Amino acid sequence: ETGVTQTPRHLVMGMTNKKSLKCEQHLGHNAMYWYKQSAKKPLELMFVYSLEERVENNSVPSRFSPECPNSSHLFLHLHTLQPEDSALYLCASSQTSGSGANVLTFGAGSRLTVL
Protein backbone atom coordinates (compact mmCIF):
# COMPACT_ATOMS: atom_id res chain seq x y z
CA GLU A 1 0.00 0.00 0.00
CA THR A 2 1.67 3.20 -1.20
CA GLY A 3 -0.92 5.72 -0.02
CA VAL A 4 -2.20 6.18 -3.58
CA THR A 5 -5.24 4.01 -4.37
CA GLN A 6 -6.57 3.42 -7.87
CA THR A 7 -9.87 1.87 -8.86
CA PRO A 8 -10.78 -0.21 -10.72
CA ARG A 9 -7.62 -2.32 -10.99
CA HIS A 10 -8.88 -3.90 -14.21
CA LEU A 11 -11.34 -2.56 -16.77
CA VAL A 12 -12.57 -3.98 -20.07
CA MET A 13 -14.66 -1.69 -22.23
CA GLY A 14 -16.00 -1.44 -25.74
CA MET A 15 -15.17 1.46 -28.02
CA THR A 16 -18.57 3.08 -27.44
CA ASN A 17 -18.57 2.82 -23.64
CA LYS A 18 -18.03 5.61 -21.13
CA LYS A 19 -16.10 4.75 -17.99
CA SER A 20 -13.98 6.53 -15.38
CA LEU A 21 -10.79 5.72 -13.53
CA LYS A 22 -10.44 6.96 -9.98
CA CYS A 23 -7.38 7.84 -7.93
CA GLU A 24 -7.21 8.85 -4.27
CA GLN A 25 -4.13 9.84 -2.29
CA HIS A 26 -3.82 9.91 1.49
CA LEU A 27 -0.37 11.52 1.66
CA GLY A 28 -1.26 15.21 1.87
CA HIS A 29 0.43 15.86 -1.48
CA ASN A 30 -0.52 18.89 -3.58
CA ALA A 31 0.14 17.56 -7.09
CA MET A 32 -1.40 14.61 -8.92
CA TYR A 33 -0.54 12.98 -12.24
CA TRP A 34 -1.88 10.56 -14.84
CA TYR A 35 0.66 8.41 -16.73
CA LYS A 36 0.10 5.83 -19.47
CA GLN A 37 2.32 2.73 -19.40
CA SER A 38 2.42 0.54 -22.51
CA ALA A 39 4.53 -2.60 -22.83
CA LYS A 40 8.21 -1.93 -23.57
CA LYS A 41 7.61 1.85 -23.79
CA PRO A 42 8.53 4.68 -21.41
CA LEU A 43 5.87 6.02 -19.10
CA GLU A 44 4.01 8.79 -20.92
CA LEU A 45 2.87 11.79 -18.88
CA MET A 46 -0.74 12.64 -19.71
CA PHE A 47 -1.94 15.23 -17.22
CA VAL A 48 -0.64 17.09 -14.17
CA TYR A 49 -2.71 18.91 -11.58
CA SER A 50 -0.99 21.18 -9.08
CA LEU A 51 -3.12 22.68 -6.30
CA GLU A 52 -6.14 21.39 -8.23
CA GLU A 53 -5.29 23.35 -11.38
CA ARG A 54 -4.32 21.55 -14.56
CA VAL A 55 -0.75 22.57 -15.38
CA GLU A 56 0.12 19.98 -18.00
CA ASN A 57 -1.76 18.43 -20.88
CA ASN A 58 0.59 16.54 -23.15
CA SER A 59 -1.39 16.58 -26.39
CA VAL A 60 -3.66 13.87 -25.11
CA PRO A 61 -6.69 13.04 -27.31
CA SER A 62 -9.95 14.54 -26.12
CA ARG A 63 -11.41 11.06 -25.55
CA PHE A 64 -9.45 11.25 -22.27
CA SER A 65 -10.84 13.87 -19.89
CA PRO A 66 -9.29 14.48 -16.45
CA GLU A 67 -11.03 15.90 -13.40
CA CYS A 68 -9.51 16.97 -10.10
CA PRO A 69 -12.28 17.99 -7.66
CA ASN A 70 -9.86 18.40 -4.72
CA SER A 71 -6.21 17.77 -3.84
CA SER A 72 -6.88 14.16 -2.79
CA HIS A 73 -8.90 12.91 -5.76
CA LEU A 74 -8.22 12.59 -9.46
CA PHE A 75 -10.39 11.06 -12.17
CA LEU A 76 -9.79 10.09 -15.78
CA HIS A 77 -13.01 9.97 -17.78
CA LEU A 78 -12.90 7.72 -20.83
CA HIS A 79 -15.20 7.73 -23.87
CA THR A 80 -15.09 6.33 -27.41
CA LEU A 81 -11.64 4.84 -26.83
CA GLN A 82 -9.62 2.95 -29.42
CA PRO A 83 -7.94 -0.47 -29.05
CA GLU A 84 -4.52 1.25 -29.01
CA ASP A 85 -5.57 2.97 -25.78
CA SER A 86 -5.28 -0.39 -24.02
CA ALA A 87 -2.54 0.08 -21.41
CA LEU A 88 -1.81 0.43 -17.71
CA TYR A 89 -2.87 3.86 -16.43
CA LEU A 90 -0.88 4.98 -13.43
CA CYS A 91 -1.81 7.72 -11.04
CA ALA A 92 0.88 9.44 -8.97
CA SER A 93 1.11 12.21 -6.43
CA SER A 94 3.92 14.39 -5.10
CA GLN A 95 4.73 17.38 -2.99
CA THR A 96 5.84 20.38 -5.06
CA SER A 97 8.09 21.92 -2.41
CA GLY A 98 10.10 21.03 0.68
CA SER A 99 11.84 17.78 1.53
CA GLY A 100 10.96 15.05 -0.94
CA ALA A 101 9.65 17.51 -3.49
CA ASN A 102 8.87 15.96 -6.88
CA VAL A 103 9.37 12.40 -5.66
CA LEU A 104 6.41 10.62 -7.20
CA THR A 105 4.37 8.10 -5.25
CA PHE A 106 2.48 5.85 -7.65
CA GLY A 107 -0.68 3.84 -7.37
CA ALA A 108 -0.76 0.23 -8.58
CA GLY A 109 -2.48 1.23 -11.80
CA SER A 110 -5.68 0.48 -13.69
CA ARG A 111 -5.23 -2.09 -16.46
CA LEU A 112 -7.49 -1.00 -19.33
CA THR A 113 -8.44 -3.23 -22.25
CA VAL A 114 -10.43 -1.70 -25.12
CA LEU A 115 -12.20 -4.21 -27.35
Residues contributing to the site for other proteins (CB under 8 A)? 2, 4, 40-43, 45, 56, 90, 102-109
* Min dist. Cβ of residue 48 to other proteins (A): 9
* Min dist. Cβ of residue 100 to other proteins (A): 9
Q: Of 8 and 14, which has the nearer Cβ to other proteins?
A: 8
CB atoms within 10 A of CB 106: 19
Of 11, 25, 1, the closest CA to residue 74 belongs to 25
Number of H helices, E strands in the chain: 0, 11
Long-range CB contacts (< 8 A, 24+ apart) of 84-87? 84/114, 85/112, 85/114, 86/112, 86/113, 86/114, 87/36, 87/37, 87/38, 87/112
Q: Of 63 and 73, which has the nearer Cβ to other proteins?
A: 73
* Min dist. Cβ of residue 18 to other proteins (A): 26
* Min dist. Cβ of residue 16 to other proteins (A): 28
Q: Of 66 and 110, which has the nearer Cβ to other proteins?
A: 110
Q: Of 78 and 90, which has the nearer Cβ to other proteins?
A: 90
